[in-house]
Amino acid sequence: MHEVVYFDTPGFAEVSRFCLEISGLEWKNTVVNWDGYLELKNKGDLPWGYLPIIRTAQGNIAESNALLRYTGALAGLEPEDLYTRAKVDELVEVINGWREAFTPTFSIEDLDEKIIARQALFVEDGKMDRALKAISTVFEQSTTGWLADTESMSIADVKAFMDTFMLFSGEFDGITADMLAHYPSLLAFHEKMSNDSRVKNYYADADEARWVFRPDAFSNVGTSQHI
């Protein structure tokens, strides 16, 4: 059995939780608090000192993108063709880079300064504005409706969906859902992903922290641009 160990938030583990769920394999979601994390770290259970990890029969695995690729393979979301898989992984790495542009704002202690710094990322030609426009273009140019032009959902779609829309959950000071009104193609991508039966079923009874992954989560924000 596979066991995901992480905090209660979606964070860096959500993509792996979803992939394990749709894999059909038995798995366990273990939630820890900060003290639980420190205990695991002091015991040497964390390969690189951080969560999330996945416990397997062969040992523990760490690093969120490694977990995504592992669980994505279990769920059948990794293409067999090596070129196609590389293009999927290319998108995963690019999306991860966008998230890293947002990360430094967490270290800003003054709330007003933090909000200003975050909102600056989303203004015209800001780092996150360029990122959201880029993923919109990738979606628009896809001939299959999936980001890497795969025949079915891949881990690139899961990564983009969860990492992008969690930003607009209200959990991050200065970032609000109405910002998405500038990205109609991104809203169309959300509509496609959230209405996929696997996503829809998984989040049907999810807690309110995960409302962004449900259909119509952003229906009041703007009009999606159907492709």
Most confident of 95-99, 194-198, 204-208: 194-198
Domain-wise residue ranges, the chain = 2-74, 82-213
Strand partners, 74: none
- Classified by CATH at the fold level, domain 2-74 comes out as Glutaredoxin (3.40.30)
Contacts of 171 (CB under 8 A, 6+ apart): 9, 209
**pLDDT value for 122:** 94
**pLDDT value for 61:** 97
Note whether 2-74 and 82-213 share their fold: no
pTM reported for the whole predicted model: 0.92
CB 147 within 8 A of CB 139: yes
Residue-wise DSSP of 52-72: -EEEETTEEEESHHHHHHHHH
- Walk across the sheet containing 2-6 and list its strands: 27-31, 2-6, 53-56, 59-62
CB 164 within 8 A of CB 172: no
Q: Tell me, rounded to whole angstroms, the distance of Cα 145 from its chain centroid.
A: 18
At residue 207, does pLDDT exceed 90?
Answer: no
At residue 126, does pLDDT exceed 60?
Answer: yes
Q: Which tens digits make up the pLDDT trace of 140-173? A: 999 999 999 999 999 999 999 999 999 999 999 9
Of 178, 176, 189, nearest to 222 by C-alpha is: 178
Q: Spelled out in words, what is the top-level CATH class assigned to the domain 82-213?
A: mainly alpha
